Amino acid sequence: MIYNCHTHTHLSHDSNADPADLCRQCVKDNVNGLLLSDHCDCEYADAVNYNALFQQGEREAVQLRQRFGASLKIHFGIELGDPLFSEGFAKNITAAFPFDAILISVHAVRFSGYEIPFSQIDFSNKSDLFISEYLSQYFNDVLCTIQEFDHFDTLCHLTVPLRYIILKYGRHVDISSYYPIIAQILTILIQKRKSLEINTSALSLNNGFLMPDQYIAAMFITMGGRFFTIGSDAHVPTRVSFGLRNAAHMLKDLGIKEACYYEQRNRIFYSL
């Protein structure tokens, strides 16, 4: 069995996907269930009517469940981005809807002069010192986010800036220098009984990798972590099953026999 616990639809700013098309692709690709987890980036809380978007998302999820019946488990969720930018809004929006799962992520770093999504930063001409300091702040923001915000189930795509810095711009990064703060992040997840997502979206790029990679996943397990979700982070239907089984094989190689998904905020395990 395999569940995709991270997808995006036309309700996300960076996707035009019809959620029904995502569901049809899941059935075609023998994916057993998916979470519709559209973006809610808190730094844009005053500019985007997220309440209206998630009202529509809730309606669409209900309609899709009726349409696909027993052929596919369909869950309604949210990817809550950057709650440190507006903690009050983050708490309100996550309490306002009957989400099956709440994913939490950092897309924009509190880095002076660059408090924009890192997907918009050109790292090709940045100094090694800039990149080092930027990544330090990224991991610090992740740590602060999960320390200060409890109302979530899964931490998404830990190490995701590397998708841009390394794979898009070809810059070398020695990730080992960040292992101490990554260990702090994993410790908080374990203490709070939260899940760590294995995100497959960077696998298609040259020399691509899972986020986080096998070494960090093994760190989590060694420290006592057992809760994993798998997500393709698909923004188009053709990507809905991409890499899911790669992630499942990695977890099995590490001795993990079960991953999980969420239904009404309850963790449900399934065999890999």
Measured distance CA(9)–CA(54) in Å, rounded:
11
Identify the pLDDT of residue 207.
79
> Residue 211: which pLDDT band, with cuts at 50, 70 and 90?
very high
> Residue 204: which pLDDT band, with cuts at 50, 70 and 90?
confident
pTM score of the predicted model: 0.97
Tens digit of each residue's pLDDT (9 = 90 or more) over 134-155: 999 999 999 999 999 999 999 9
Q: Identify the CA nearest to 72 among candidates 257, 261, 209.
A: 261
Assess contact for 260 and 228: CB atoms under 8 A.
yes
pLDDT at residue 206 greater than cutoff 90 = no
Identify the pLDDT of residue 76.
98
pLDDT at residue 205 greater than cutoff 80 = no
Torsion of CA 40, 82, 109, 241, to 10 degrees: -60
Which residues 6+ apart lie within 8 Å of 78 measured at CB? 37, 38, 40, 54, 93, 94, 97, 99, 101, 102, 103
Q: Which domains does the chain have, with CATH numbers?
A: 3-271 (3.20.20.140)
> Residue 262: which pLDDT band, with cuts at 50, 70 and 90?
very high
Tens digit of each residue's pLDDT (9 = 90 or more) over 214-231: 999 999 999 999 999 999
Encoding tokens for residue 198?
A: 């294995």
Q: Which DSSP state fits 166?
A: I
User: Is residue 137 within a helix (H) or strand (E), and if so which, with residue range?
Assistant: helix 128-148
Identify the pLDDT of residue 222.
98
Measured distance CA(201)–CA(54) in Å, rounded:
24
Question: How many beta carbons lie within 10 A of that of residue 150, not counting itself?
Answer: 9
- The percent of residues above 70 in pLDDT, for the chain, comes to 100
